[in-house]
Structure 1
Amino acid sequence: METRDKPEIELVEQDGEVTLNIGGEQAMQAWERDLMWASADMLCEYGRDFYEVGLGLGLSALRIAGNPATRSHTVLELFDEVEELFRSKHPTLPDNLAIERGDFFRRVFELPSESIDGMFFDPALDMDVWKDEALWAKTMPEVVRALRPGGVFIPFFSTRPELRWQYLPHFRSIRIESHPYQAYEGTEYTYGTSGQAYIQCFRKT
């Protein structure tokens, strides 16, 4: 599973701040919008058929689907409740946007080879999953297989200037952009609440 079984999921809107909590932890916040949009716009430079892992608040999903270049965009979400919260805010979705249910670490093996131009990756994962070297060594070749030549894999932004070891061995070409960010005072998942964030784009050559 991508995160703990049947966690409590809630959307907290208070004092102008919006936070999606999964299992008692901050999974995503609305201040991320500009970084999500920048990531989505970068993804859309590389083709027209895209795949996203993790719906969250749907900021990147709607941005990708709304890009004039996008022909199809599929989002894989693990939890019913996350999609329900999203649809309650966005009852009418673009025709080129589809939302599927499933566990990425199983579904990735079912993706057709060379079927997508880009994948945006932002699921809610427990720390033990992030640290599972064997899991990533098995999973990332499947991501590369699903990408068309020249296609890209873009994980969620980092607030540390370091390449993520989970993805690095599987790509030879990496594009990095730096963007300023300002998080909420109570944000727990960034290194500081302001500074530079780094979008990493791994390209299949």
Structure 2
Amino acid sequence: MTSTSTNTSTRPGAKPDIQLIEQNGEVTLSIGGEQAMQAWERDLMWASADLLCEYGQDFYEVGLGLGLSALRIAQNPATRRHTVLELFDEVEDLFRAKHPQVPENLTVERGDFFRRIFELPSESIDGMFFDPALDMEVWTDAELWARTMPEVVRVLRPGGVFIPFFSTKPELRWQYTPHFRSIRVERHPYTAYDTTEYTHGTSGDAYIQCFLKD
């Protein structure tokens, strides 16, 4: 599921407590007691979605979260097909309770990305938006990323893109950089909630990184 945090306590296969918390004007998707995603991220999610949609018409997203990017991608006039892979039933249930009607070109599937990526057909999508909630142990597993990212490149069509969730640090993510020669970076201002725990400060600049397959 989606997260902008690298501190999320959820690993693939776990069954954490999942809640949508709405209080004091703030909306938070909580997974395992951690802030997985918050509604203030909307503009950054939309910017990421719009950037993705510049590169084709068939897209894949890892992590549903609040559905901000999923709906934005599906509603883009350029989009023919958008598939979202979500690990937890509860996350999709919360999303559909808020959005009982979704675009016809939007499909939500259940599965673990680190298994599913090996099953996807080669050169089958124009772009992937990547925003799962993973444990720090997963994010720092160099061998896992070395196995996984070549598969991501494989499923992208030539000229396709891989866009991970935004960063509030001005640095390229080591998990992805060895696998792409061209990287497009956009800087956007952001203001988080005062209670947000997963950003480097509650305001400043966020960086959207777009990795292009040659």
Q: Same fold (TM over 0.5)?
A: yes
- Paired residues in the alignment total 205
Q: How much does 1:4 deviate?
A: 6.1
Are 2:38 and 1:42 equivalent residues in the alignment?
no
Q: Is the 8 A contact 1:2 1:123 kept in 2?
A: no
Structure 2 residue 114 is matched with structure 1 residue 105: yes
Q: Which residue of 1 aligns with 2:210?
A: 201
Structure 1, gaps ≥5 residues long: none
Deviations along 1:132-178, whole A, 9 cap, x unmatched? 00000000000000000000000000000000000000000000000
Of structures 1 and 2, the one scoring higher in RCO (CA 8 A, sep 6+) is 2
Does 1:86 find its partner at 2:101?
no
Partner of 1:57: 66
Q: How does 1:61-72 map to 2 (within 5 A)?
A: 61-72=70-81
Match for residue 167 of structure 2 among 144, 158, 162: 158
Counterpart of 1:149, as a letter, is: P
SS of the counterpart of 2:29?
strand
Distance 1:187 1:58 in 2: 19
Taking only aligned residues, the RMSD between alpha carbons, in angstroms, comes to 0.9
Aligned residue in 2 for 1:178: 187
CA deviations over 1:103-138 (Å, ceiling 9, x no partner) = 000000000000000000000000000000000000
TM-score normalised by the chain length of structure 2 = 0.95
Distance in 2 of aligned mates of 1:4 and 1:168: 27
The residue aligned with 1:123 is: 132
Q: How far, CA to CA, are the matches of 2:103 and 2:96 in structure 1?
A: 12
Q: Secondary structure at the match of 2:118?
A: helix
| Counterpart residue number, 2:25 | 16
Preserved CA contact (<8 Å) 2:12 2:112: no
SS across alignment from 2:134: coil
Q: Which runs of 4+ in 1 moved over 3 A?
A: 1-4
Percent identity at matched positions?
81
Superposition deviation, residue 2 in structure 1: 4.0
Q: Which runs of 5+ in 2 are unaligned?
A: 1-9
The answer to whether the 8 Å contact 2:13/2:112 transfers is: no
